[in-house]
Amino acid sequence: MAELDTSGGGKKGGGKVRSKKQSTRVDLTAMVDLAFLLITFFIFTTTLQKPKAMDLTMPDKDEKQDTRLPVPESRTMTILLGSKNKVEWYIGLPTKPLTAPIVEGFGKNGIRKSLMEQGEQIKQKSGGKEMIVLIKPSDKSTYSDMVSIMDELNIIGNQQRAIVDITPIEIGLLKTSNIY
Amino acid sequence: MPRVKVARKSTAIDMTAMCDVAFLLLTFFILSAKPKTQDPIHAEVPASTSQIAVDENDVSTVLVAQQKAFFGIAGVDLRIQTLKQMGDKYKIQFTPEEIKVFSGTESFGVPIQSMKQFLSMSSDERTALKQPGIPVDTTSNNELYNWVHEARVADKLLHNQEMKLAIKGDSQEEYPTIAKIIKTLQKQKVNKFSLITSLRTVTK
């Protein structure tokens, strides 16, 4: 949209030679184009979303045995993390589980549903006490499994949980379920 | 009879105001933009529903991917102090030039013995280099332990605060590698740290 110089063209005979009066207006179109192009570039390249973090508190590795609290097995749910993004869970001790071990996946119809149901049941049986969840990642599980299971516990609002080392008996359990 | 003349209007619009606005926005975006820090290794962080935002300028990060560990110390003054302390510990003298390069390094993954060589490279060479990762052995040669420890001591010394730590792991990383890092941190009684995740919406 460049402006055309419409000021008088030809000289009139006779009169003084006048210098042409030039317009002081600059065509800003190109400049605006450039500015918006750069704005677009910066909008696309800036990451407005800051990374999120999940806080993780590990149990204190205290060597002294007397500071450890006994865990009631009837309130304890153990979740074993296996391969292929599968988990296996049971209530009680691995040698004599109170419920048979069940293999499940993640998501709202998988482990979250079980966590909610078991949490409710345990609360009723024990008179309002919260379920204790032990997470035991096996060597075949991935980091995302661990984050997912912690996230599921965050979603249902469970605070009584810990990440514990897996035992050989539990690895055996995973092996029989074909997720190790 | 005089004809009524329709005044011919110019098609040119005054662009000045638009130009002003455009440049104002441009300035804002340029000033608010933070250059994206290039991690020495790519890690696809797992998603979670956690909403807590981390300030990366304030949190030192252990980056874990492909069974390698990298350490990023937050803040220039903290980096300088940590490198000096590590130099004392391993009897390595770093020149002011090397310290300057190190203070600009966001994250690194080289053993302390090759640190001098790493810092003498040009920045292009450093980006292209496939860094071997900081040794994290469960036995005596646990350099990550010393790095984290010295950084914590330095933070206490400089800012009188407990250093915040975060783990940024690749989602496909096998658990033993992560467990090794967590054990390293727990050995110095760091039981509380953050896991960096990306945001996922809850499916109810």
Least trusted range by pLDDT, from B55-59, B114-118, B156-160: B55-59
Q: Is B96 in contact with B117 (CB distance < 8 Å)?
A: no
Q: What is the mean pLDDT of residues B47-65?
A: 81
What is the count of residue pairs from A and B with beta carbons less than 8 Å apart?
160
Interchain CB contact of A141 with B (< 8 Å): yes
pLDDT band at A66 (very low <50, low <70, confident <90, very high): low
pLDDT of amino acid B24: 92
Residue A28 has its nearest CB partner, among B15, B45, B204, at B15
Give the residue, A22 or B1, on which the prediction is more confident. Answer: A22
Q: What is the mean pLDDT of residues A87-116?
A: 82
**Interface with chain B: mutation pick from A106, A147, A179, highest number of B CBs within 10 Å:** A147
Highest mean predicted confidence (pLDDT) among A38-52, A69-83, B174-188:
B174-188
pLDDT of amino acid A37: 92
Interchain CB contact of A158 with B (< 8 Å): no
User: pLDDT by residue (tens digit) across A7-29?
Assistant: 555 545 556 777 877 777 778 88
CA distances from B161 to A39, B151, B153, B164 (A): 39, 11, 9, 9
Strand partners, A77: A91, A133
Residue of A nearest to B182 (CA): A58
pLDDT of A114 > 60? The answer is yes
User: pLDDT by residue (tens digit) across B8-51?
Assistant: 877 777 888 888 998 998 898 888 776 666 677 787 888 888 77
Q: Tell me if residue B204 falls in helix, strand or coil.
A: coil
Residue B175 has its nearest CB partner, among A36, A141, A148, at A141
User: pLDDT by residue (tens digit) across B79-133?
Assistant: 999 998 988 888 888 888 888 888 888 888 888 888 888 888 888 888 888 888 8
Residue A52 has its nearest CB partner, among B16, B29, B52, at B52
pLDDT of B204 > 60? The answer is no
Hey, are the CB atoms on B195 and A56 less than 8 Å from each other?
yes
Hey, are the CB atoms on A144 and B172 less than 8 Å from each other?
yes
Hey, are the CB atoms on B197 and A142 less than 8 Å from each other?
no
Residue of A nearest to B20 (CA): A32
Least trusted range by pLDDT, from A135-149, B48-62, B105-119: B48-62
Identify the burial level of A173 via C-beta atoms within 10 angstroms of its C-beta, where 0-12 means exposed, 13-18 middle and 19 or more buried. buried
Looking at A6-142, list the stretches that DSSP marks H as alpha helix, in order from N- to C-terminal side. Answer: 29-45, 111-126
Residue B169 and residue B63: Cα distance in Å, rounded?
Answer: 6
User: pLDDT by residue (tens digit) across B162-176?
Assistant: 888 888 888 888 888
Give the residue, A66 or B174, on which the prediction is more confident. Answer: B174
